[in-house]
Every structure is written in structure tokens, then in C-alpha cells.
Amino acid sequence: MIRYATRRLIAAAVQLLIITFVAYVLFFLIADLTGANPAQRVAGKGASPARVRQIAHIMGTDRPWYAQYAHFVSQLVRGNLGYSFQRRQPVSQIVFPAAGVTASLVIGAAVLWLVIAVAVGLVGALRPRSLLDRVLTIGVQTSIAAPVFWVAPMLSYLLAYQPTQGRLLGISLGRRVDWLPIEGYVGPVANPLEWAHHLILPWLALAIGFAALYARFVRAFVLEQLSEEYVKTARAKGASEWRILRKHIGRLVAPSIVTLLGLDVGVALGGALFVEQVFGLPGLGYVGLSSIENLDYPLTVGTITFAALVAVAANAVADLAQAILDPRVRVA
Amino acid sequence: MSTIAAPLPDEVQLPVARSPAQDFWLRFRHDYVALAAACFIVFVVLAAIAGAPLVAWVTGHPPDRQYVNGLTIDGVPLAPFSHEVGPDGIHQNPHGQFFLLGTDKLGRDIFVRLLYGARISLLVAFAATGAALLIGVVLGMLAGYFGGIGDAVISRAIETAMAFPALLFAVGLAAVIGAGLTNVIAVITLFSWYYPARVVRSAVVSLRNAPFVEAAHMTGASHFRVMFRHLLPQLTAPIIVYATGVIAANILFEAGLSYLGLGVPPPTPSWGQMLSDGVSNGLYRVQPWLALIPGLSLAALMLSFQLLGDGLRDAFATKSAA
């Protein structure tokens, strides 16, 4: 286990290094080549060349690329993601609170989509080709096809906006109600109830697509396992179906789901981008997008690099968790 | 006495030689869901190529033309099946222009824009998928066939690329290099080559020591020839199945970038941008069609590619690698 963990952590460290390098190449070198000089951006279009040079010196963009990269990484290691000239604030002071919001969104959604996926997948696997299974399969296929940036505004419209107009799903309620907030965020420490209340729709919006993908996986996996010999043996020994699912198949499916989760953190961060925008949550996606709109270059770089680091770290943690759950992984 | 051999009894079935393609078609033609999906995709492709200019010509509505009377006096776009508003800016003028799917926030014909938007969705998705497959197949083939250090490097590259939050980096990259058709295709290609590469690599590894590869070597075939004339044909089925999935993912990818304003710049219509036009200013609360029409179109096209992919996989009788 220790050998495996060491190897996996070294691999993660290499990946982190590569990601910072790619982030650097993307945002500094390519930006330079395409003429989007970061110093010029900070200085503004009308700045004098002397002023641009001065700002380039302050930002360090007049130094050779390897020195810039080394500086970028050494600052990153110290938790310094740069300085937003527009907001006149260190990037980390903006990114860390935003990361909390995004974590609330993604973790909550992950719990939701796991619960839905296991329930839907198990129903399908235990009663394959039944009417219920077919209906669920259609729902799953449709949910996978529906883009999150369409699901989010539709949920907001149908479940949050329409009730305030006295309607629900097109049916008149007779009076105007204000059940779910259309947008906004409340911190979990300040008011846990309001926090959950504000996040119900965002969680749902982010979770639907993933729930469908995972449900398809759980259904296929459990269905395959149910015809295995060990299930027959367990049944012959008198184990209940519930016990077989929980003790035998559950232990096999859990490691795969953990790995999937680790890989999907990065994807979910991408989805969170749209959900945060629609529901006005001040998370990483919201910060990143507004920084792109405002041409706030250091903030864009900082946000995306930070999110990438989180995704790689999550991936490594998931692999380690899988190794704990499944001994075969550590030996191979 | 006749010495003619007795005729074969009727019930004996002679083995019929069938090519893999015939085998495939025999199975595929009974998969009505996949056939319907394929028909829908063909329909969308035709609608995008021929339908868009045709409809623009029939209705006389160019995709970028803004109709003053295509908005009510309050600036609300028209619902589907409406005529443009009359002089009072509220009631429809039955002699005015007719908008089959209504108008958008600038009073442009949504039906015409939807058809022209399909061009962008399909063009970007097909081009990016083609490029990604080319890169993925070549890299996967090299890694799987030769093994060794090259394989180690390519495999680590694939793993690292998979660990990247693709959309976030694509958004950043698109923001850096700017919007535009080739840029969008390049960005999407950059973030979709590694899944095909992984599939091809693992397939080649499992076939590398097969007898037919050995036989090809014995007859003096070069490495290049073995890879692309002997191994590649074995991989067509998984590659085609995989390609449909990648196309679906890339349609979504393009729509996502357009939605964020990082796709093909306006006024060229694209589905993601039509969706975001309706959503971003909250206009869809007054006129839900603005979000429903592009969203449903996207979902239907995605669903078709998924179902077609599932059908192809079953008909090829290959196991999905994903």
C-alpha cells in the first residue's frame, strides 16, 4: 500500500507540474504570441510604451520564459496565485472564498447524483426489461443528452420563477408563492438552512446529467454481477437479495464509483461554470467568467490553475481510496 | 439404376459466407431506434446544408435581418406561429411577415437562425472529431504497437490530459486566442484526442501478438504497413462507435463554448449562442421558446448520436471501452 501510494503521489506531483506548465504556456506564451500582451492588458490600450514596459517589469513578463515559469511555480507553491490589478486584491483572496461556494455546489450535487444513480440503477438491474426499467432508461438517455446549460435555466424557470407568477409546470396554483430562490448564495455557517434552500436547484441542475451517467453504469455493473457464480453461491447459502447487493456486489461496485467520481471532479467543475452563472452563485466559475469578461488576466489564470490543481488532487485521492477499497489495485 | 446422389434435404442450411459489413447490416437494420436516430441525423445534416438557404429564400428572411416589427412594442420577441406586429406594436398584422418559430431578442427569424446554427454545430463537431480521431488513432497506434518508452510517454500524456478539467482550460484558451471558427475547432480538438487514443492503444496492445500480425511480418510487411493495412481495419468498428460518442460530446462542447460567448462570434448563429441569448438577460422568462427551441434541438441531436452509437456498438457486437 505504501509503495502504491508513493508511486501514485509522485505521478500526481508530475501531473501537477505539467498542468502548471501547460497553464503557463497557455496563458503567458500563447497570449504573448497572439499579441495579447498581459502588461498591455493591465496598462490599458492608451498607455505609453514606457508605462507598459514599467508594468511588464513589475509583473515580470519582461524576463525569459523559464525564469517566468519558475517564478510562477514558486509563487504557486506558497499559495500566491497572483494579483488582480482590476480588483486591487490578491487572487487567492478572491479564489479561496469562491472555491468554498463551488465546493458546496459540487459536493452537494455529487451526494445527490450518487443517491439517485444507485436507486435508479438498482431498480433497473433488479427488474430488467420491466416497464419501470424501460421508462427509467428513456429518462436516463434523455438526461444524458440534455445540456446542463439548458437544464439549469429550465429548472430555474419552471420551479423558481413560475411559482412566483402563481403557476407550476404550466398549471395555475391560484396564488403567487415564493418557494425556491431564483438566484443568490448564503454561507453555510451564517445560515445552514438558507444555504441548502438556495442550493437545491443548483444541486439538482448539476446532478441530473451525472446521475443519469452513473445510473447507467450501476445498472450495467449490477446486472452483469447478478449472473456471476459467487452470487449463485451466496443465494445457495441462503443470503437475502438485499445482503447480496450490500455485502457482495456493493463491495465490488464501490471502488469503480470512487474512481469515476475522482475523474469527474474536473468535469463537474466545468458544469458548475454554467450552473453558477445561471443561479448567480459567486463560485469559481462565476469568478473565472467575469474575469474573462473584464480582461482581468491574473484572475483568469489563477482561477483556472487552482481548479485544475483541485481536479488533479481529487483524481489522486480517488485512486488512493480505490486502492484502500480494492486490494487488487495495490498489487498490480 | 440411378447413381445420382440424393438431393440435400431442405432443412439443411448451407453456411452462407457473409462479409463483416453484411453481418453488421443484418443486425443493424432491425434496430429501429438506431435507424430512427440515423435518419434524424441525416435530416439535420440536410436541413443545415440545403434547408437553411432554402428556408431563407422561401421566407425571404436572411439569418441576420432584424425585423423592427418582429418585437412587440415592449421589446418582447414573438412566439412561434406569429405574424409580425402591426402599427400598434401589440396585435399581429396578418399581412406581415410570418415567423414559424418566432423571433429572437433582436427580431430575427429563429427558424432560419436555427437551421444556419445547425451548420456551425455540425461543422465544428465533425471537424474537431475528425482531427481528434486522426491524432488519437496515430498516437494510440504508435504507443500500442511499439510499446517501450514511446508508449510510456504517450500513456502518461493521455493520463495527464484526462486529469485536466477540459472545459475550464478550453474556456481559458478560447478567451486567450479569441473567438473564431478555426480557433473553436482547434480548442475542441485539443481536448478530445485522448479518449480515442486510449481506446486504440489498448485495442492494439491486445492485437499486437495476434497470428495475423505475425504472418504479416513474415511476408515482409513494414511496420507502417502492418499498422495501417492490417491492424487498422480490425479497429474500424470500435473507432466508428467511439466517434459517434465523441461527436455528441463535441456538439455539446461547441454549444457550451458558444453559450459562454467563446464560440463563433455573432452575428453568425449557433445553437449555444441562441440559447445564451435567450437565457442570459432573463428574456426566456417572458418568452420560454427562446430557451426551449435551441435547447430541445441540442438535446435531440445529442440523443440521436448517443442512440446511434449504442445501436452501432450492438450491431458491431463490440464491447464499449468506456
Q: How confident is the model at residue A31 (pLDDT cuts 50, 70, 90)?
A: low
Measured CA to CA, the distance from residue A83 to residue A86 in angstroms comes to 9
The string of DSSP codes covering A170-237 is TEE-SS----S-SS----TTT-HHHHHHHHHHHHHHHHHHHHHHHHHHHHHHHHHHHTSHHHHHHHHT
- Count CA within 13 A, CB hemisphere, residue B22: 4
Contact between B275 and A149 using a beta-carbon 8 Å cutoff: yes
Instruction: Reply yes or no on whether the pLDDT at A114 is more than 90.
Output: yes
Which 115-144 residues of chain A touch chain B by CB within 8 A?
141-142, 144
Contact between A149 and B177 using a beta-carbon 8 Å cutoff: no
pLDDT in tens, A141-167: 899 888 999 999 889 888 888 888 877
Measured CA to CA, the distance from residue A88 to residue A146 in angstroms comes to 40
Residues sharing a CB contact under 8 Å with residue B216, sequence separation 6 or more, in sequence order: B225, B226, B230
Pick from B105, B282, B79: nearest CA to A160: B282
Q: From the CA of A233, how many Å to the nearest CA of chain B?
A: 27
Distances, alpha carbon B30 to alpha carbons A278, B20, B23, B36, B312, in Å: 42, 16, 12, 11, 12
Q: Helices in chain A by DSSP H: which ranges? A: 2-24, 31-33, 38-43, 49-59, 65-77, 91-126, 131-145, 148-155, 162-164, 192-226, 229-236, 241-243, 250-279, 284-293, 297-325, 327-331
Q: From the CA of B172, how many Å to the nearest CA of chain A?
A: 7
pLDDT in tens, A211-226: 999 999 999 999 888 8
Q: Is A257 an 8 Å CB contact of chain B?
A: no
**B152 exposure class (CB count in 10 Å sphere: 0-12, 13-18, 19+):** exposed
| Whether A104 contacts A282, CB under 8 Å | no
Q: Which three cell numbers stand for residue B307?
A: 442512440
Instruction: Reply yes or no on whether the pLDDT at A278 is more than 80.
Output: yes
| Whether A302 contacts A92, CB under 8 Å | yes
Looking at this protein, which amino acid is placed at residue A255? P
| pLDDT for B319 | 43
From its phi and psi, is residue A185 left (phi > 0), alpha (psi between -120 and 50) or beta?
A: beta
From its phi and psi, is residue B38 left (phi > 0), alpha (psi between -120 and 50) or beta?
A: alpha
Nearest CA in chain A to B275: A150
Measured CA to CA, the distance from residue A42 to residue A84 in angstroms comes to 9
Crossing angle of helices B232-259 and B166-177, rounded to 10°: 70
Instruction: Reply yes or no on whether the pLDDT at A39 is more than 80.
Output: no
| Whether A311 contacts A16, CB under 8 Å | no
Beta strands in chain B (DSSP E): 82-83, 98-99
Give the end-to-end CA distance of chain B in Å, rounded to a whole number: 66
Q: From the CA of A41, how many Å to the nearest CA of chain B?
A: 12
Kindly list the residues from chain A whose CB atom is less than 8 angstroms away from the CB atom of residue B255.
Answer: 147, 149
Kindly list the residues from chain B whose CB atom is less than 8 angstroms away from the CB atom of residue A30.
Answer: 173, 176-177
Instruction: Reply yes or no on whether the pLDDT at A328 is more than 80.
Output: no
3-state secondary structure of A83: strand
Measured CA to CA, the distance from residue B218 to residue B241 in angstroms comes to 32
| pLDDT for A35 | 62
Measured CA to CA, the distance from residue A232 to residue A234 in angstroms comes to 5
Distance of CA A25 to the CA centre of its chain: 24
Q: From the CA of B247, how many Å to the nearest CA of chain A?
A: 12
**A290 exposure class (CB count in 10 Å sphere: 0-12, 13-18, 19+):** middle
Measured CA to CA, the distance from residue A275 to residue A272 in angstroms comes to 5
Instruction: Reply yes or no on whether the pLDDT at A32 is more than 80.
Output: no
Instruction: Reply yes or no on whether the pLDDT at A192 is more than 80.
Output: yes
| pLDDT for B321 | 38
Pick from A188, A193, A213: nearest CA to A281: A188
| pLDDT for B39 | 94
| Whether A185 contacts A281, CB under 8 Å | yes
Measured CA to CA, the distance from residue B144 to residue B137 in angstroms comes to 10
Write phi, then psi, for B165 (nearest 5 degrees): -75, 95
Measured CA to CA, the distance from residue B62 to residue B111 in angstroms comes to 11
Averaged over A82-101, what is the pLDDT?
85
Q: Is A225 an 8 Å CB contact of chain B?
A: no
| Whether B160 contacts A16, CB under 8 Å | no
B160, B168, B313, best to mutate vs chain A, most A CBs in 10 Å: B168
Q: How confident is the model at residue A299 (pLDDT cuts 50, 70, 90)?
A: confident
Q: Is A166 an 8 Å CB contact of chain B?
A: no
Instruction: Reply yes or no on whether the pLDDT at A262 is more than 60.
Output: yes
pLDDT tens, residue order, chain B (322 aa): 556 666 666 666 777 777 878 888 888 888 888 899 999 999 999 999 998 889 889 888 888 888 877 788 777 888 888 888 877 777 777 887 888 888 888 888 889 999 999 999 999 999 999 999 999 999 999 998 888 898 888 888 888 887 777 887 888 778 777 778 888 898 899 888 988 898 899 889 888 888 998 899 899 888 889 888 889 888 888 888 889 989 999 999 999 988 888 888 888 888 988 898 888 777 888 888 888 899 999 999 999 998 998 888 888 874 443 3
ipTM above 0.90, yes or no: no
Q: From the CA of B176, how many Å to the nearest CA of chain A?
A: 6
| Whether A271 contacts A204, CB under 8 Å | no
Q: What angle do CA A307, A308, A312 make, to 5 degrees?
A: 120
| Whether A313 contacts A265, CB under 8 Å | no
Q: How many CB pairs under 8 A join A and B?
A: 131
Burial state string for A164-174 with b = 16 or more CB within 10 A and e = fewer than 16: eeebeeeeeee
From its phi and psi, is residue A147 left (phi > 0), alpha (psi between -120 and 50) or beta?
A: beta
Pick from A26, A97, A105: nearest CA to A271: A105
Kindly list the residues from chain A whose CB atom is less than 8 angstroms away from the CB atom of residue B164.
Answer: 19, 22, 266, 308, 311
| pLDDT for B40 | 94
Q: What is the dihedral of CA A203, A204, A206, A208, to 10 degrees?
A: 150
Pick from A59, A26, A62: nearest CA to A42: A59
